Structure 1
Amino acid sequence: MSLTPDYLAQDTSRVLFNVTTAVTILTTLVYILFLISRVFCVERNNLEVWIFPVLSYIFCVGLWTLSYLLYAEGGAGRHIAYWFIAKPAVITTYLKIQTAAEFVYVAACLFPKLTILALYLRLFTNRTVRIGAWIVIGVCIAHAFANIVASFTICRPFEYKWNKTIPGGRCSNPMASYRFVSLPHILTDIAIFLLPWSSLYHLMISKKQKLGLCLTFLIGSLGMITAIIRCVSFFRIDLESDPTWYAPTLFSYTIVEPSAYLICSSFLSLRPMLRMVYMWTRTKVDSYYGTGTSRSGQSEITLSHLKGGHRASISAIKSLSRGEDDDRKSNFIRLDETVDVDVSPPYGAGRV
């Protein structure tokens, strides 16, 4: 192939920069909402709520950092022929960043999945779901460990991954590793997607609530789509033929996939915050329009014995004055002086 000036001048590095920036901003915003939801809207959080999401975000930050380094120092977006001519040292830098990304990517994909599976174990009591969750946890950890071992052993010596001048150094087929590493990700994603549905189907709640839960768990499984896209991309593109040229596309998928996992796992924990916002908004609207009060200003709660033995009624009077801001804001019924309690005894008994 003729190395024309136009060919050597081609540069698509901006794609990687734009994708990384967009993913960083979006994921960070969702993660902040997750923290707000867990800190201010939930009374108590288990330890795994803090361990797995925090580690997920840390490793995603690591991938974003490597992506910016690849853009600034790794030669991403230019043909490798250009770097052979202009600055061969950039190729070594690219290979070092690529090697680091292999390890960070594995951890960045693992911990969001553990976050979702830990949530399943906390929410569901169904024995089948819990056993399935533990099995998927084991598969995810084993897959991550296998990927780390493969990254360490695919080239002998290890340094040969970025230093091709080492005498006697050799590498196995790295493209096979890149292509097939995503397949177990997809399989575990499918398992995570399917696990909760039987329990959700049998929940004794309204259709509206059930639909809301189903949509929440559906969003929590959308990371599977990015895993499929990344896997297909590595089969369609021969990275070794021109690694720096194809880097913006493939590395974009590499950072999007774990970021999508983190976003999806965070969405599952946003329900407390969304519920609180909904209730606050509803209270404000009801207060403004004066709705939510009884017609007569008196509320009555009737408590009955299951067998008809006793019957009790409690009445409380609430002022309808719109000037009582404190009472209206508190969303409680203010009792006016006294509470009348009437208890009717069983048949034949004396008056209490």
Structure 2
Amino acid sequence: MALYYVSFPLLPPVRTHFVVNCALVFLMLVVVALRLYLRVSTKQGLGWDDALVMFSAPHGVGMLVIQGLWLPMGIGYPISETMANIPLILKLLLAYEVIYAVAITLIKLSMLCFYLRLFVNRSMRIATKATIAFVVIWSTANILQIFLICRPFSKTYDPTVTEGSCGDQVGSFIALGASNAVTDMAILLLPMSTVLGLKVAAKTKAALVGVFAVGLLTVVVAILRILSLTSVDLGGDLTGTMVYADFLSTTEPNLGIICVSLPLLGPLFSWVHRRKGSSARAGKDTRNTPRSGVRRFKGSGKSFDSFVRLEDLSRSDTALRLS
């Protein structure tokens, strides 16, 4: 696809959105790299949840690339000025939709596979597997509607095609976004009854709830994205109304990758916490500080698979496993 288009000066909000997402994607890549390194260095090995996150990362980068390609094509300008670029913008939009749908699916499946590795009680595992089946079916339907909403298919990306018809494309974007936010919330709530039922200290329980609740950030962005989609005028003024939808559509999956990876960075947080504690003790009285006071996170790593360490994991009333 040749990238021939009329170039426009970048509007300040559009430039700012791209810089923010560049920083977010860089952070996402660092977090994913740390996650994979810690999984290997602690001898845990890579699981399906790690593989799915690893495959989702290029999709997050791909969305940023498309956002970058759109920058000089007149995003934020009225369509009366950018009409020459609309065919190319629509072709990129088609790829953008597919990448987005695949990315959010991989993120959801990664979190659910993490649940399968973490929770051992039968009811939780059955519920998780049922949710995985639903997400796969839901994702397949979402991707199919992208290709089936316009007949002929070329009408999806070529405004010069006069034959055939399209369904409500913006409505389909909103429906996908709404169902995405609902499934995200359902996935976040899935382990809560199990976590709240654990026979552990209240502080430990609160920390575990916090580990899973961090995903609420993604839900908030998903809701903001839905609101931005309601103002998109696909047929009347696409470039003039897509500024925030473009920004948030790239933000959401990359933030999601970060959120699902944070629980796996427990070894790093534990190591940093111990280093700080050791340094503070050394500053007070170095003579009383044992040389082995700082425990490295390399090793079996079994106690460091989340932000908190649970004692006596072999007990029958403990519904978690950290291996």
TM range (shorter): 0.7 to 0.9
Tell me how far apart the structure 2 counterparts of residues 132 and 222 of structure 1 sit (CA, whole Å): 23
Change over 3 Å in CA distance of 1:76–1:48 after alignment to 2: same
Tell me, yes or no, if the aligned pair for 1:160 and 1:170 is still in contact at 8 Å: yes
Counterpart for residue 63 of structure 1: 63
3-state SS in 2 of match to 1:44: coil
- Separation in structure 1 between the aligned mates of residue 10 and residue 280 of structure 2, nearest angstrom: 57
Task: Return the alpha-carbon distance in structure 2 between the equivalents of residues 131 and 248 of structure 1.
Answer: 42
Q: How does 1:26-175 map to 2 (within 5 A)?
A: 26-40=27-41, 42-72=42-72, 74-84=73-83, 88=84, 90-175=85-170
| Matched letter for residue 45 of structure 1 | G
Q: What is the deviation of 1:186?
A: 1.7
Other structure's SS at 2:291 match: helix
Paired with 2:79 and 2:140, the residues of 1 have a C-alpha distance of: 32
CA distance in 2, matches of 1:24, 1:331: 32
Secondary structure of the 1:213 match is helix
Give aligned pairs, total. 287
1:150-191 C-alpha deviation (Å, 9 max, x unpaired): 111111222222222235242221111111111221221121
- The residue number in structure 1 matching 2:200 is 205
1:290 positional shift:
4.7
Q: Which has the larger radius of gyration?
A: 1
Query: Aligned residue for 2:299?
Result: none
Q: Would you tell me which structure has more strand in proportion to its own residues?
A: 1
Query: What residue ranges of structure 2 are gaps of 5+ in the alignment?
Result: 1-7, 296-323
Aligned partner of 1:250 among 245, 266, 279: 245
- So what's the TM-score if we normalise by structure 2? 0.80
**How far apart are the structure 1 equivalents of 2:234 and 2:248?**
13
2:263 matched to which residue of 1? 268
TM-superposed deviation, 1:330: 7.1
TM-superposed CA distance for 1:287, in Å, is 4.8
**Greater shift after overlay, 92-101 or 276-285?**
276-285
| Rounded Cα–Cα distance in structure 1 between residues aligned with 2:194 and 2:282 | 38
CA distance in 2, matches of 1:329, 1:190: 43
CA distance in 2 between partners of 1:196 and 1:58 (Å): 28
Distance 1:123 1:50, change over 3 A: closer
User: Displacement of 1:98 after TM fit?
Assistant: 0.5
Q: Does the 8 Å contact 1:178/1:234 carry over to 2?
A: yes
CA contact (8 A) 1:19 1:252 kept: no
Partner of 2:306: none
Structure 1 gaps of 5+ residues are 1-7, 292-321, 333-352
Q: Distance in 1 between matches of 2:278 and 2:17?
A: 45
Distance (Å, rounded) in 2 between the aligned partners of 1:19 and 1:239: 25
Secondary structure in 2 matching 1:328: coil
Residue of structure 2 in register with 1:280 after alignment: 275
- Indicate whether 1:194 and 2:189 are aligned: yes
CA distance in structure 2 between the partners assigned to 1:200 and 1:46 by the alignment: 24
Contact 1:220 1:268 (C-alpha < 8 Å) held by counterparts = no
The separation in 1 between residues aligned to 2:196 and 2:238, in whole angstroms, is 47
Are the structure 2 counterparts of residues 9 and 122 from structure 1 closer, same or farther at C-alpha, using a change threshold of 3 Å? closer
| 2:323 is the alignment partner of 1:328 | no
Amino acid across the alignment from 1:59: H
* 1: CA distance, partners of 2:170 / 2:92: 16
Residues 49 and 111 in structure 2, CA contact (< 8 A), matched pair in contact too: no
Distance in structure 1 (CA, Å) of the matches to 2:10 and 2:248: 21
1:104-138 CA-to-partner distances (Å, cap 9, x unmatched) read: 00011111111111111111122222122112211
The aligned residue for residue 178 of structure 1 is 173
Match of 2:320 in 1: none
Partner of 2:304: none
Paired with 1:288 and 1:19, the residues of 2 have a C-alpha distance of 39
Contact 1:76–1:244 (CA under 8 A) maintained in structure 2: yes
Cα RMSD after superposing both structures: 2.6
Name 1:17's counterpart in structure 2: 18
The one-letter amino acid of 1:52's match is L
Note if contact 1:9-1:78 (Cα within 8 Å) is conserved in structure 2. no
**Farther off after superposition, 186-195 or 163-172:** 163-172
Deviation of 1:284 (Å):
4.2
AA paired with 1:191? A
**2:77 and 2:240 in contact (8 A); partners too:** yes
Q: 1:219 aligns with which of 214, 220, 227?
A: 214
Of stretches 53-62 and 26-35 in structure 1, the one that deviates more from structure 2 is 26-35
Confirm or deny: 8 A CA contact 2:170 2:232 kept in the other structure.
Answer: no
Code of the residue aligned with 2:78 in structure 1: it is H
